[in-house]
């Protein structure tokens, strides 16, 4: 568990595995992309809010959702993922949703280089979401499944960033480093990775970025 102080109160971040983690804030549990293959969701607390970046089964996992959600749970999703969740707040890129004072903005997450055998990107532009959560000026960037993309240059100040690192679906080590240099988050969590050379990455990060690994 890693804790940060924000203008809206303390948040605690608990990494669950793959692209899944939990943000605890003011007695509320905010889950990102719950995935039952990496955690036992029967042992997790009730979800007040769930963010779904896109519809792939390792991000939209109904088995995991069934263990932590009920009719009171608020969902924020991509448009495609929202078609699978009743009552979801499906955000297009650039749209925002306010949850109990937290601003949630959908931002781009997509592939440019890595493509399927048929030539289509693993994650086409506009299909999935990244999110920026704004805790009263303390901003958390959840990149979703993405490569290094031009839109990262216009994210603004980021206090905590979650960046994926796994080929062929998201970023190579080199892309990951360049993304960190572009975004310049104060705190950086690699996620959605198969393997991680912590020392190699840490040695190439700009000064001022704190790297968190499991």
Per residue, what are the HEC states of 117-184?
CCCCECCCCCCEEEEEEEECCEEEEECCCCCCCHHHHHCCCCCEEEEECCCCCCCCHHHHHHHHHHHC
pLDDT of 104 reads 98
pLDDT of 201 reads 81
pLDDT of 181 reads 94
Any bridge partners for residue 32, and if so which? 21, 51
Q: Does pTM top 0.75 for this prediction?
A: yes
pLDDT of 173 reads 85
Per-residue pLDDT of the chain (214 residues; tens, 9 = 90+): 999 999 999 999 999 988 899 999 999 999 999 999 889 999 999 999 999 999 887 888 999 999 999 999 999 999 999 999 999 999 999 999 999 999 999 999 998 867 677 767 777 787 899 999 999 999 999 999 999 999 999 999 999 999 998 877 778 888 889 999 999 999 999 988 767 777 778 778 888 898 888 6
pLDDT of 119 reads 67
pLDDT of 199 reads 75
Q: Which of 23, 130, 13 is CA-nearest to residue 77?
A: 130
Q: Are 151 and 107 in contact (CB under 8 A)?
A: yes
């Amino acid at each position: 568990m890693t804790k940060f102080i924000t203008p809206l109160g303390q948040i605690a971040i608990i990494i669950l595995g793959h692209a899944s983690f939990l943000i605890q804030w003011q007695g509320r549990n905010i889950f990102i992309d719950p995935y039952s293959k990496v955690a036992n969701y029967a042992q997790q607390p009730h979800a007040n809010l769930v963010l779904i970046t896109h519809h792939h089964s390792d991000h939209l996992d109904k088995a995991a959702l069934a263990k932590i959600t009920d009719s009171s749970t608020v969902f924020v999703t991509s448009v495609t993922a929202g078609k699978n969740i009743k009552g979801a707040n499906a955000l297009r890129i650039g749209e925002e949703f306010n949850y109990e004072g937290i601003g949630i903005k959908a931002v781009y997450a997509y592939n440019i280089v890595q493509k399927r055998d048929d030539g289509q990107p693993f994650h086409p532009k506009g299909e999935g979401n990244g999110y920026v959560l704004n805790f009263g000026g303390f901003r958390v960037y959840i990149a979703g499944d993405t490569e290094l993309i031009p839109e990262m240059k216009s994210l603004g100040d980021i206090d905590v960033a979650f960046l994926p690192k796994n080929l062929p679906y998201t970023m190579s080590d080199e892309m990951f480093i360049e993304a960190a240099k572009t975004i310049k988050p104060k705190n950086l969590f690699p996620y959605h990775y198969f393997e991680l050379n912590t020392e190699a990455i840490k040695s190439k990060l700009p000064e001022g970025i704190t790297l968190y690994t499991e």
